[in-house]
A and B are shown apart, each in its own frame.
Chain A
Amino acid sequence: MTASSSLPKYPTGGAGGVKPPAANASRSFIARNPSVLIFLLALAAFTIIVTIASEAYGVGFISTSFVKTLGKTLCLCLVALAMDLIWGYAGILSLGHMAFFALGGYMIGMWLMYARTEEIVVAALAQGGLPATPEEVTQGIATQIFGVVGSSDLPVIWSFAHSLPLQLILALAVPGLLALIFGWLAFRSRVTGVYLSILTQAMTLALALYLFQNDSGLRGNNGLSGLQNLPGLGDTSQDLVSVWFFWASALALGVGYLVLASVVSGKFGSVIRAIRDDEARVRFLGYPVEGYKLFLFTLTAIIAAIAGALYYPQAGIINPAELAPIASIYLAVWVAIGGRGRLYGAVIGAALVSLVSSWFTSGQVPSIPLGFATIHWVDWWLVLLGAAFVGVTLFAPKGIGGLFDRFQGIATPDRKGAALGPDDGSLQEREAQE
């Protein structure tokens, strides 16, 4: 991206003009996208610093709970990347990606809870004089897990919960299939723009309401809990586990960044940006717009699910409130504040807003006495966030990413008041800067 400013201008004609695609192809992926390298180096450095500062492997400067917070933040950055791809690059404001995120968490949570309960049940049954039969173990697990919602049968959807590989596949397949079906229905009937946003929000709400029921098979509003205890590692300290999950999250974020950067940098990236800017024209040029959108929607849903599957073992608990439509809107807020249409923007926005948010809501921020009233930030943080969001939308549509443009001297072209395109905030590529 930053390299694009140094590229020769697209030739306006002339027989001997060097074609930019050829020029692009002759250079390596990293050279064309130096921000990827910078990002990966920064992530690696960050991981090493946190490891050295952690209680398990280093000097103990960072508490275990803060390592978990950082690990969770990396997962949020990963889902923000997915959101950026679907919204910033393809122009589809999905308000359902946190639902895919939570679904991934639920799927991995099922295995964690099942396997952990199995250990407990087997240990308890061994006290009874006879070795346990498989039926007794299953029955014991079901009673243990579902006693809280007044049931003692294992629902059908838990059929694969005993197996980690199967449940890992489900963690990707369930959100992926849901996104595929929903996306197919929505895109084929040409639902676009705000309608699609509302429709995805409705999907999220429906899913959340469904999971809130006690007979949904996922313990209603109790959700799944105790996920931080890894089966088979009962004696391992959480200090170690937290760092392992931090590493896994950092790895997932790095790989995810690399994959998404390669997706958006090639011809595919150009097509999806074109869809964002003028969908009808791309369709008339013969591109299967619905196919592109469906692929992106499903891909980002799967990435969100991976992020969720890494997030919830660190959070320890998941319940249907995590799927509330507001969570997906916050996701959009992070991406918008960070700057959409650029991958590093999503990461910066998610990390900054979620860390600042947890700082403000933790009650550690000093209150401001105004004489007649005191501003307690626990109560007023959301007001500040809402106002900041309005401010960013109105005055800085490029978000924090706009600062990077300013440092690099990239200026938005002046069209004498006319709009650059349907989404000013995410436009900063070559096309817009000429």
Chain B
Amino acid sequence: MRLTAFLVAALSWLAPLPALAQEAAAIVADNRAQIEKPSRQTIGPVIAALAASGDAMADDILSAWADKRLVIRKSDGAIFLAAPDGDGVALTALDGAAAGTAAKGDLTELKPNAGVRGVIAAALVQFTLSDPDPGVRAQALTSIARDPKPETLEPLRASLATESDPALKAQKERLERFLTLRFDPDPAARVAAIESLGSDTSLDVRAALNPLVATTRIAVAGEPAGNIARELLPGRDLTEAEAYDLLVAADMAPARLTLEGQREALVANIVDGAVGGIPVAEMASQTVRDRAYTALEAAGTVPTAATDDEATAALSAHRFFDAYVEPDATVTTAAVAALTGIDRKVAAMQAADLGLDALSLAAIYFLAAIGLAITFGVMGVINMAHGEFITIGAYTGFVVQLFVPNYTVSILIALPLAFAVTFAAGVAMERLVIRHLYKRPLETLLATFGISIALQQILKNVFGTQARPLTAPGWLDGALEFNDVVSISYIRIAIFVLALIFLAFFLYLMKRTRLGLEVRAVTQNPTMAASMGINPDRINMLTFGLGSGIAGIAGVAIGLYAKVTSEMGADYIVQSFMTVVVGGVGNVWGTLAGATMIGSLQKVIEFLNPSNTLAAQTYMILFIILFIQFRPRGIIALRGRAAGD
């Protein structure tokens, strides 16, 4: 019946009839007594009539009424819509005609109570939901979704039939399901709505279902009433202190005496340097204080407090439950079943998302470590300044962006330039320092460490301590979203692609070019390589430059998503060494495996303990130390002559 009324209202509103223009005013006039002193129980038909009148003014009248802007002029008792206008109030007649202004004192505001306002708001919903402007309708849907109310269910259903926009219609139907499962008076309809959602994993479905399974903790003396989720056993599901607190909160047991309370009570009852006959000086132990307090209790000076025995007895006399706020068991059962299904799917998706995160972290570690894999893995040179080469690459990108404002162009310039700069730095370092230390690996470590602290300080002096931005081009903003759970940002995809390119480049260089052949020859046996006409000095120089250059490019990539500071490279150096060592020295596939393992391990530990990334790193390093126990040569160990020693 009401549905038809709404339908008529909606239809007639879409084709406004001038003949009806006076009707809203007439309805107001007819029900004047009700409107002046409305009550929630009886006002319904009046508001429904106004809403169904089809008058263009009905919407305005209702919203003015709800906002306390409907006024009675004291002089003649006429009703107007009021709007503040300077010191006075501008009046509009109920038929929409302007009716001059009036002073505030000449008017009486109609003040409907909250219940009536709720009825009015529900009636107003139908106007916005059927507004000819799709933008207004979409906005109405959003506000209903944000704050669902039982009253909005009927108008929403009524507006479904007339919705012309297919997207909005789908949205309305979805919202209707959400409102039905929460507010429909018929449990069967609610269960049907829950089941109709299936195992949709969107956030809004979960948000709609979760309030249905919300629980409260209750303590009862006998059999529980209401919709019980599960029983809680003190000591297993909740601590005994928590259980007792529940009893105290429900006034089922006296509060236990706290140590602080006992102390205060004792201090308050010191008489002649003694409490309850026990001298104050002896009060330095809990048992003595208990004895004194019992003496006071016996004398009646302090209220009796629950002892431990009483507390235990109270606990065993009561049972504790989690009870659903929702009283209907069929609904909660259906909601729990639906949520279980959804949780299972969400867990699978989270695993997929975690996998993506792990892959992108692995790509970053791979990029940071591949340069090191060349200098450390192939040449056996420990380069502690590798992290600073990463930083130099990132700062090169920053400097390029100072001169080239277009971010796409600047990144395209920065990548080769960073390679060139760090390649030159690497070659210079090899010529000046490393070459003299090939036979002394421990001293290489220390010398390159000296270079590292000097470079880091120079960069700090030149660029300052504050973080510098390296901005990614606009087309790398945002994220590729598969659904509410699984998404990955474009920058990370770009870094992943870059890592793949480098893997391919490195493999091609080592396996298919003359340079790669010579590098492998020098690695395996420098003397033999030299006697075959290869210049080991030149090869070492180029290899070291190559490894350093790749570090520069990695710096640009890392700088795109992290802040560029003089210490950014140092954050990666230990991780990079771990990657190379865990993966297996001298093998690019090993580096890839090491990066994948360390990246996924870190993500998994972070997932298990999300609040604490420091702990994640600690456990990861511990794991690596243990891992090296079992595979000292890494995941992929070289065999045969290439392994050397």
Asked if B270 is an interface residue, CB under 8 A from chain A, the answer is yes
| B453 adjacent to A385 (CB under 8 Å) | yes
Asked if B466 is an interface residue, CB under 8 A from chain A, the answer is no
Knowing A93-B442, A202-B621 touch, does A133 contact B285 (C-beta < 8 A)?
A: yes
| B457 adjacent to A386 (CB under 8 Å) | yes
For B581, what are the chain A residues with a Cβ–Cβ distance below 8 Å? 195, 198
CA distance A266 to B454 in the complex (A): 40
For A207, what are the chain B residues with a Cβ–Cβ distance below 8 Å? 618
For B285, what are the chain A residues with a Cβ–Cβ distance below 8 Å? 133-134
Asked if B42 is an interface residue, CB under 8 A from chain A, the answer is no
Over the window 207-247 of chain B, the binary record of Cβ atoms lying under 8 Å from chain A Cβ atoms (1 yes, 0 no) is 00000000000000000000000000000000000000000
What's the nearest-Cβ distance from chain B to residue A17, in Å? Answer: 35
What's the nearest-Cβ distance from chain A to residue B345, in Å? Answer: 34
What's the nearest-Cβ distance from chain A to residue B439, in Å? Answer: 5
CA distance A188 to B440 in the complex (A): 24
Report which of A188, A190, A205, A380 forms a contact with B574, defined as CB distance below 8 A: A205
B535-543, B589-597, B622-630 - the one binding chain A: B622-630
| A383 adjacent to B629 (CB under 8 Å) | no
| B283 adjacent to A193 (CB under 8 Å) | no
Knowing A383-B458, A389-B446 touch, does A185 contact B629 (C-beta < 8 A)?
A: yes
B2-10, B259-267, B517-525 - the one binding chain A: B259-267
Output the nearest chain B residue to A206 by Cβ-Cβ distance: B621
| B632 adjacent to A389 (CB under 8 Å) | no
A68-76, A103-111, A328-336 - the one binding chain B: A328-336
Quick one: which of A363-420 are within 8 Å of B by CB? Answer: 379-380, 382-383, 385-390, 393-394, 397, 419
Knowing A130-B280, A210-B618 touch, does A194 contact B441 (C-beta < 8 A)?
A: yes
| B280 adjacent to A424 (CB under 8 Å) | no
What's the nearest-Cβ distance from chain B to residue A327, in Å? Answer: 12
Report which of A135, A185, A210, A390 forms a contact with B450, defined as CB distance below 8 A: A390
Output the nearest chain A residue to B285 by Cβ-Cβ distance: A133
| A389 adjacent to B447 (CB under 8 Å) | yes
B29-37, B174-182, B609-617 - the one binding chain A: B609-617
What's the nearest-Cβ distance from chain A to residue B230, in Å? Answer: 30
What's the nearest-Cβ distance from chain B to residue A178, in Å? Answer: 12
Asked if B445 is an interface residue, CB under 8 A from chain A, the answer is yes
For B622, what are the chain A residues with a Cβ–Cβ distance below 8 Å? 206
Quick one: which of B435-456 are within 8 Å of A by CB? Answer: 436-437, 439-443, 445-447, 449-456
Over the window 247-287 of chain A, the binary record of Cβ atoms lying under 8 Å from chain B Cβ atoms (1 yes, 0 no) is 00000000000000000000000000000000000000000
CA distance A398 to B414 in the complex (A): 43
For B577, what are the chain A residues with a Cβ–Cβ distance below 8 Å? 198, 201-202
Output the nearest chain B residue to A210 by Cβ-Cβ distance: B618
| A386 adjacent to B283 (CB under 8 Å) | no
Asked if B120 is an interface residue, CB under 8 A from chain A, the answer is no
| B457 adjacent to A133 (CB under 8 Å) | no
Output the nearest chain B residue to A91 by Cβ-Cβ distance: B442
Output the nearest chain A residue to B624 by Cβ-Cβ distance: A202
Knowing A195-B581, A197-B445, A206-B618 touch, does A128 contact B625 (C-beta < 8 A)?
A: no
- Report the interface size for chain B: residues with CB under 8 A from the other chain: 54
Report which of A133, A379, A382, A393 forms a contact with B289, defined as CB distance below 8 A: A133
For A195, what are the chain B residues with a Cβ–Cβ distance below 8 Å? 581, 628
Report which of B283, B446, B612 forms a contact with A393, defined as CB distance below 8 A: B446
CA distance A422 to B289 in the complex (A): 72
| A93 adjacent to B263 (CB under 8 Å) | no
Asked if B286 is an interface residue, CB under 8 A from chain A, the answer is yes
Knowing A210-B618, A383-B458 touch, does A129 contact B445 (C-beta < 8 A)?
A: no
| A206 adjacent to B453 (CB under 8 Å) | no
What's the nearest-Cβ distance from chain B to residue A1, in Å? Answer: 22
CA distance A209 to B613 in the complex (A): 10
Asked if B284 is an interface residue, CB under 8 A from chain A, the answer is yes
Over the window 174-217 of chain A, the binary record of Cβ atoms lying under 8 Å from chain B Cβ atoms (1 yes, 0 no) is 00000000100100111101110111011101110110110100
| B458 adjacent to A194 (CB under 8 Å) | no
Report which of A131, A189, A209, A397 forms a contact with B280, defined as CB distance below 8 A: A131
For A199, what are the chain B residues with a Cβ–Cβ distance below 8 Å? 625, 628
What's the nearest-Cβ distance from chain B to residue A124, in Å? Answer: 13
| A393 adjacent to B284 (CB under 8 Å) | no
A interface residue count range (under 10 / 10 to 19 / 20 to 34 / 35 or more): 35 or more
For B289, what are the chain A residues with a Cβ–Cβ distance below 8 Å? 130, 133
| A135 adjacent to B457 (CB under 8 Å) | no
For A326, what are the chain B residues with a Cβ–Cβ distance below 8 Å? 453
| A185 adjacent to B614 (CB under 8 Å) | no
What's the nearest-Cβ distance from chain B to residue A2, in Å? Answer: 25
For A382, what are the chain B residues with a Cβ–Cβ distance below 8 Å? 453-454, 456-457
For A333, what are the chain B residues with a Cβ–Cβ distance below 8 Å? 446, 449-450
What's the nearest-Cβ distance from chain A to residue B269, in Å? Answer: 10
Over the window 575-606 of chain B, the binary record of Cβ atoms lying under 8 Å from chain A Cβ atoms (1 yes, 0 no) is 00110010000000000000000000000000
| A383 adjacent to B442 (CB under 8 Å) | no
What's the nearest-Cβ distance from chain A to residue B596, in Å? Answer: 19
Asked if A168 is an interface residue, CB under 8 A from chain B, the answer is no
For B114, what are the chain A residues with a Cβ–Cβ distance below 8 Å? none
Asked if B382 is an interface residue, CB under 8 A from chain A, the answer is yes
Asked if A173 is an interface residue, CB under 8 A from chain B, the answer is no
| B614 adjacent to A386 (CB under 8 Å) | no
For B382, what are the chain A residues with a Cβ–Cβ distance below 8 Å? 194, 197-198
| A128 adjacent to B267 (CB under 8 Å) | yes
Quick one: which of A339-367 are within 8 Å of B by CB? Answer: none
Knowing A128-B263, A130-B266, A185-B625 touch, does A390 contact B442 (C-beta < 8 A)?
A: no
Quick one: which of A111-145 are within 8 Å of B by CB? Answer: 128-136
Residue from B283, B455, B621, B624 with most neighbouring chain A CB atoms (10 Å): B621
Output the nearest chain B residue to A207 by Cβ-Cβ distance: B618
Over the window 307-327 of chain A, the binary record of Cβ atoms lying under 8 Å from chain B Cβ atoms (1 yes, 0 no) is 000000000000000000110
For B461, what are the chain A residues with a Cβ–Cβ distance below 8 Å? 379-380, 383
| A129 adjacent to B450 (CB under 8 Å) | no
For A329, what are the chain B residues with a Cβ–Cβ distance below 8 Å? 446, 449
What's the nearest-Cβ distance from chain A to residue B604, in Å? Answer: 17
Quick one: which of A214-249 are within 8 Å of B by CB? Answer: 215
Over the window 55-95 of chain A, the binary record of Cβ atoms lying under 8 Å from chain B Cβ atoms (1 yes, 0 no) is 00000000000000000000000000000000000010100
Asked if B281 is an interface residue, CB under 8 A from chain A, the answer is yes
Report which of A191, A203, A210, A387 forms a contact with B615, defined as CB distance below 8 A: A210
| A422 adjacent to B440 (CB under 8 Å) | yes
For A338, what are the chain B residues with a Cβ–Cβ distance below 8 Å? none
Output the nearest chain B residue to A201 by Cβ-Cβ distance: B574
Q: List 10 A-B contacts (CB under 8 A).
A: A130-B280, A191-B628, A195-B581, A209-B618, A210-B614, A213-B615, A383-B454, A390-B450, A390-B454, A394-B447
Residues of A with Cβ closer than 8 Å to B? 91, 93, 128-136, 182, 185, 188-191, 193-195, 197-199, 201-203, 205-207, 209-210, 212-213, 215, 325-326, 329, 332-333, 336, 379-380, 382-383, 385-390, 393-394, 397, 419, 422-425
Residues of B with Cβ closer than 8 Å to A? 259, 263, 266-267, 270, 280-286, 289, 382, 433, 436-437, 439-443, 445-447, 449-458, 460-461, 574, 577-578, 581, 612, 614-615, 617-618, 621-622, 624-626, 628-629, 632
Nearest 9 pairs of A and B residues by beta carbon: A386-B454, A389-B450, A206-B621, A382-B457, A129-B267, A131-B284, A393-B447, A386-B450, A386-B453
